[in-house]
Structure 1
Amino acid sequence: MPGDIPAPPMTNGQASESGFKLGDFSIDEHKPIKVVCIGAGFSGIIAGIRFPQRIPNVELTIYDKNAGVGGTWFTNKYPGLACDIPAHCYQLTFEPKTDWSAFYAPGPEIRSYLQSVVDKYKLMRYIKLQHRVVHARYDEPSGKWHLRIRRPLDPRVSPASPPPPNAPPAQVGADEEGAYEEFEDTADLLFTGVGSLSRWKWPVIDGLKDFEGKLFHTADFEVGDGEQAWQEAIHDWKDKRVGVIGVGSSAIQIVPALQPRVKKIVNFVRGRTWIATPFSGAKMAELIKRDPDVENYVFTDEDKERFRDPEYYKQFRHELEADLNSVHPATIRDSDAQRAGRAAFHAHMKNKLTKKPWIADFLIPEFGVACRRLTAGPGYLESLCADNVDFQPTHIKHVTANGIELVDGTHEELDVLICATGYDYSFQLDFPIVGRGGATIQDKWAPHPSTYLAVCTDGFPNWFMSLGPNSGVGSGSLLALIERQVDYAVAAARKMQRERLKSVEVKKEAVADFDEYLEHYFPNTVYSEKCRSWYKMGKEEGRVVALWPGSCLHAVRALEHPRWEDFQYELPDGVKNRMHWLGDGQTYNEKTMTGDRAWYLNDDQVDFPPVPADELVQ
């Protein structure tokens, strides 16, 4: 109204009647954020690169229970271990390797590749090995994760790294592995990349521990500390009778590796499986003009020299991976691609088993191709036909002191028993993760896990994951998906930091909607057919918990642009205005009169639009 005297403007720090006051920070003055990652396999290594690259003022710690980096590639060192997709498709998008020795790279090369990435990006400054997280709890008042970490006290095996600053005094104790100490740490954002192939387990077979010969699991640490330990273990096996239980990837690799080195192998096989022709083998043969019948082609010096040409290698890798990403239609039930795959693999297996054709009657499945994890397994079928290998499809009754008794009463005498029986695929983590209201992820994920796009779940704010439930791919390269899952977690951290949020949590209804999508997608695929698979927590039938509901490329697209509207947010205590993050109305460079104050003109900031050619203008 005329005559009214306007109120003077408020100055910075002066509160209005509502209690709002401007922040004492500039809009791009990056709030410190603390990130803890659990696991130093592929996921943790990518996280170690991307979080510091993209998040300013971040404090990052990566804890891993093992004595070395690599995750499952560190814990598994059995003879014959190799990648089961083409090596050139099993590498990071930004870190190419041109000197793989073979089409399916052996485990030591993959572990060496991972170590080289760690060394190149100097990630050991973030990684703490032999540090096992034993408890994680979300603290609602502070919006932080409180972690308890255990490490061995023996200085010969424990790296000399101090606990985090201001951590409570460490607690000491002892278990079957020796003396340890526990200390606490906190995180604004928790990222887990523990994977489903990290917790191996013994098979449930009566009398297993009564065996008096040498008993191993393919991922057993007691023998798996290095390839040399395995080589020493099998050095005197030339006169030994060896039993191998299983027909998954590990068994399919270890049987042909041991066959020439032992007196006898008995492969105990409970189920059936498809043995594939080499994935993208025809494309590889086309690209480098090699014999298409060679299952695990060994690259020549000439091949490797050609790969040193960046343009040639880029094109080679692109075409190979594009071919690998063309397999998805075969996973759809009753599709033409599925029928073609069955016919091709059936003929392949029958051809390889001509010396012992009866094995095909017990090994070739009735279920569709890819219902179980599909493995090419170079040399496996040939090894089954060797004179010193027995294929035993009769079920095991129990293990005896000197062998295995079958349900038909037959007894196989053995000197060595190897369990190639896999992992705990339940996604029931081996340490408690406690969310809002004291709820544990173990309870929430019973009888099966539920997530949002396989990267987070409701009731557990500020927690993102890679390789969690429904993260696997039935075709394509898993590493492309892992990179996008890390990117998603990094984007969440950036949002928390930029908007100065206390918590980011996916909405319960968003988790329910993704769950409904899962339930409707998988019945259209071969994964829902009756076959015992770790995709279904080791069961023949039931919910598919391990695989993404779609192709690898579909997953990459789905995670490309986060739908932030599917999340709910908490502001810091005492802050009610959602615009608090705008700060004091200026940028840091203006506030300090330092740095670039016309950065928006830089080439990497300007989006130059393409100019249409004259002939395209009508």
Structure 2
Amino acid sequence: MLRETYNNVDIVIIGAGISGMCAAIEYLKTHENAKLMIFEKGAGFGGTWRDNIYPGCCCDVFSNLYSFSFEQNPDWTRLYPTQDEILTYLTSVAHKHRLYKYARFNTTVDEARWNEEERIWEIHVVVNGGKDAEYGGEYTVTSNFLISGVGQLNIPKYPHITGLNSFKGKTMHSARWDWNYPLAGKKVAIIGTGATAAQIVPKVAKVASQLTVLQRTPAWVIPRHDAVIPDWRKLLIRHVQPARQWFRAESMKVRESFHEAVTQANSTKANEMRVISLSHLRKQLPDRPDLWEKFTPKYSAGCKRSVLSDDYYPTFLQDNVILETRPIERITETGILVLGEESETRFDLIIFATGFDTFDYMQPLQVFGRKGKSLSEIWNGLPRAYKGVTVEGIPNFGMLYGPNSNLTHNSLILVIEAQSRYINKLANAVLDSKARGKPLLLTPKPEVVQSYNSNLQTVLNKTSFADPNCNSWWKNSEGVITNNWPGTAVEYQNLLADIFWDDYDVEEGNGRESSVLHRRGIAQAEKVNQQTRLGNSCSLCIHTNLILKILGYLLYSVR
């Protein structure tokens, strides 16, 4: 095999998490002999579910929704999946769809540059040690289309605290957990009180001699109501397809109905959520009005991501657990000094449950589009994309889980599937044209991108996400919401169901507009099937629907 063949492919996908996997599977549906490469800096498939292995790590979306619609998993053991189960599921999907032969692990893409003359992408990669590095530590691959599956939750974020690097004890970020460090008998501090911290705290409190939780802002916490799925339910879901479809559809309806609660601060649903949360707080911390006050947020429900937990609050009734709400003044060599104290509290370990850098997206990867202009220059500090997937000035390129495509109420996989189908429609157009000997360039028109994002921000500014009383990883320091989608999952899927070619600058390799695409007008991407009810067009269907509703109630409610 010649080098030109080995390192010259049709599509390069960066990232082997859920996004990269979904894009690859979508492409392979119609390309059996695919010229495809998936680059992953880690050692396997799984993305964030391979990186995050901290104690208690789990998902806050129903397990039957946190799976691909085309690969539903009948073997989930709980209503909410744990990290190890999700990773097992993703690994099995990668094997089933034979993704491993396209993957190059322990390989970092540090630069992707559009070659204007050749009309191709040049992707420079670095091999991260090990045996593979012996064949060459770095090399360049060319492709006709580039897909980013890097996502938003990739680079751990550390807080800006004076003396952060002076601590002589052990530190670890939740996304880089060190299981070799023994927690038993240690004095531990955890900075952060979001969803990740709520999962870690109950586990660490069981073994640490002392655990101090340093809270800057409390979260709205609602009951999780997690439960084991009995074997008989799993058998039913595995062997009765209508039951499996019904259960997923009903779960979808439940999640979509939650949308109003987290986006409209003055809505009935949002008020119901506040009542549920405050009732949950008082029920789990009886006779502790001091903690009620500290745990009650002063911002709209939905301004930050809500926490689902059944065991977070009760942990603070343990004698070895302390809630510290005073601001951190600095970190010292031996511990943490809070405002109002003369000396620091000593700790053996400081845990940072402080999330990810969500505003740079593809950093530290550098992407250069037309005329050598970088993605950073195009964005100029304000990430934006057309429908969350394509970027002005960067041809033959698509992003998964890009700007303003994050959901706060439902499964992100619902978004990723829609994006994968949309992007693959673009890629197929490029590759079909290439097969005819005419390189094709597709780039969203700047005015279209501007109009789309302007309208989007108008809508977002009316949501709970824009509440000035809280900061979140969804909006930047200027208050611009760069991460979230304001609508429902179904609305986003519908948004990406069609490709309007007039929204794109369409050029053939000779610089002329492509008449082929313009004659098409609109291309339809296959819609994600999230049917919310079975058909009732006949007596049998009606009775089947009734039976499944009863079975679904048992599946969903019986403990």
With the shorter chain as reference, the TM-score category is: 0.7 to 0.9
Asked if structure 2 preserves the Cα contact closer than 8 Å seen for 1:470 and 1:547, the reply is yes
What does residue 233 of structure 1 align with? 181
Letter in 2 for 1:274: W
Give SS of 1:191's match: strand
Cα gap change, 1:580/1:472 in structure 2, threshold over 3 Å: closer, same or farther? Answer: closer
In the TM superposition, residue 525 of structure 1 has moved relative to its aligned partner by: 0.9
Give SS of 2:421's match: helix
Alpha-carbon displacement from aligned partner over 1:115-144 (angstroms, at most 9, x marks no partner): 000011111011111110001111111221
Cα gap change, 1:577/1:276 in structure 2, threshold over 3 Å: closer, same or farther? Answer: closer
Matched, 1:111 2:87: yes
What does residue 362 of structure 1 align with? 294
Among all aligned residue pairs of Structure 1 and Structure 2, give the percentage whose two residues are the same amino acid: 30
RMSD over aligned CA atoms reads: 2.2
What does residue 151 of structure 2 align with? 195
In the TM superposition, residue 191 of structure 1 has moved relative to its aligned partner by: 0.3
Give SS of 1:89's match: coil
Pairing partner for 2:141 from 185, 189, 193: 185
- Map 1:18-37 to 2 at 5 A: 34-37=10-13
In the TM superposition, residue 580 of structure 1 has moved relative to its aligned partner by: 11
In the TM superposition, residue 272 of structure 1 has moved relative to its aligned partner by: 2.0
Matched, 1:299 2:229: yes
Matched, 1:315 2:246: yes
- Map 1:117-516 to 2 at 5 A: 117-155=93-131, 158=132, 181-220=137-176, 223=178, 230=179, 232-234=180-182, 237-278=183-224, 295-310=225-240, 311-330=242-261, 331-354=263-286, 356-409=288-341, 411-428=344-361, 429-500=363-434, 501-516=439-454
Letter in 2 for 1:392: E
Runs of 4+ in 1 over 6 A off after TM superposition: 574-577
Letter in 1 for 2:79: F
Asked if structure 2 preserves the Cα contact closer than 8 Å seen for 1:55 and 1:493, the reply is no
Give SS of 1:479's match: helix
What does residue 547 of structure 1 align with? 484
Q: Which runs of 5+ in 2 are unaligned?
A: 1-7, 520-536, 539-559
Alpha-carbon displacement from aligned partner over 1:437-466 (angstroms, at most 9, x marks no partner): 221111222221121000011100111010
Letter in 2 for 1:318: A
Give SS of 1:497's match: helix
Letter in 2 for 1:534: W
Give SS of 2:465's match: helix
- Map 1:46-57 to 2 at 5 A: 46-55=22-31
**Separation (CA, whole Å) in 1 of partners of 2:165 and 2:90:** 35
Asked if structure 2 preserves the Cα contact closer than 8 Å seen for 1:473 and 1:552, the reply is yes
In the TM superposition, residue 339 of structure 1 has moved relative to its aligned partner by: 1.6
**Separation (CA, whole Å) in 2 of partners of 1:577 and 1:448:** 31
In the TM superposition, residue 85 of structure 1 has moved relative to its aligned partner by: 1.3
**Separation (CA, whole Å) in 1 of partners of 2:498 and 2:376:** 29
**Separation (CA, whole Å) in 1 of partners of 2:353 and 2:96:** 34
- Relative to structure 2, which stretch is displaced further, 122-131 or 333-342? 333-342
**Separation (CA, whole Å) in 2 of partners of 1:417 and 1:58:** 47
Alpha-carbon displacement from aligned partner over 1:18-61 (angstroms, at most 9, x marks no partner): xxxxxxxxxxxxxx970000000001111221112124664110
What does residue 289 of structure 1 align with? none
**Separation (CA, whole Å) in 1 of partners of 2:391 and 2:453:** 11
Q: Which runs of 5+ in 1 are unaligned?
A: 1-31, 163-169, 171-180, 224-229, 279-294, 583-611, 614-618
Asked if structure 2 preserves the Cα contact closer than 8 Å seen for 1:432 and 1:441, the reply is yes
**Separation (CA, whole Å) in 2 of partners of 1:392 and 1:265:** 10
Task: Please say which structure displays the higher CA radius of gyration.
Answer: 1
In the TM superposition, residue 482 of structure 1 has moved relative to its aligned partner by: 0.3
Asked if structure 2 preserves the Cα contact closer than 8 Å seen for 1:38 and 1:133, the reply is yes
What does residue 550 of structure 2 align with? none
Matched, 1:567 2:504: yes
Pairing partner for 1:525 from 446, 463, 468: 463
Alpha-carbon displacement from aligned partner over 1:443-493 (angstroms, at most 9, x marks no partner): 222221121000011100111010111110121211011001010110001
**Separation (CA, whole Å) in 1 of partners of 2:516 and 2:162:** 64
Letter in 1 for 2:369: G
**Separation (CA, whole Å) in 2 of partners of 1:573 and 1:383:** 66
**Separation (CA, whole Å) in 2 of partners of 1:105 and 1:575:** 51
In the TM superposition, residue 246 of structure 1 has moved relative to its aligned partner by: 0.3
- Relative to structure 2, which stretch is displaced further, 313-322 or 484-493? 313-322
Asked if structure 1 preserves the Cα contact closer than 8 Å seen for 2:404 and 2:482, the reply is yes
Asked if structure 1 preserves the Cα contact closer than 8 Å seen for 2:41 and 2:128, the reply is no
Letter in 1 for 2:23: A
Give SS of 2:351's match: strand
In the TM superposition, residue 152 of structure 1 has moved relative to its aligned partner by: 2.7
Letter in 2 for 1:135: E
**Separation (CA, whole Å) in 1 of partners of 2:351 and 2:426:** 44
In the TM superposition, residue 190 of structure 1 has moved relative to its aligned partner by: 0.3
- Relative to structure 2, which stretch is displaced further, 316-325 or 54-63? 54-63
Asked if structure 1 preserves the Cα contact closer than 8 Å seen for 2:256 and 2:410, the reply is yes
Cα gap change, 1:525/1:453 in structure 2, threshold over 3 Å: closer, same or farther? Answer: same
Pairing partner for 2:55 from 72, 79, 104: 79
In the TM superposition, residue 256 of structure 1 has moved relative to its aligned partner by: 0.7
In the TM superposition, residue 337 of structure 1 has moved relative to its aligned partner by: 1.4
In the TM superposition, residue 508 of structure 1 has moved relative to its aligned partner by: 0.5
Give SS of 2:206's match: helix
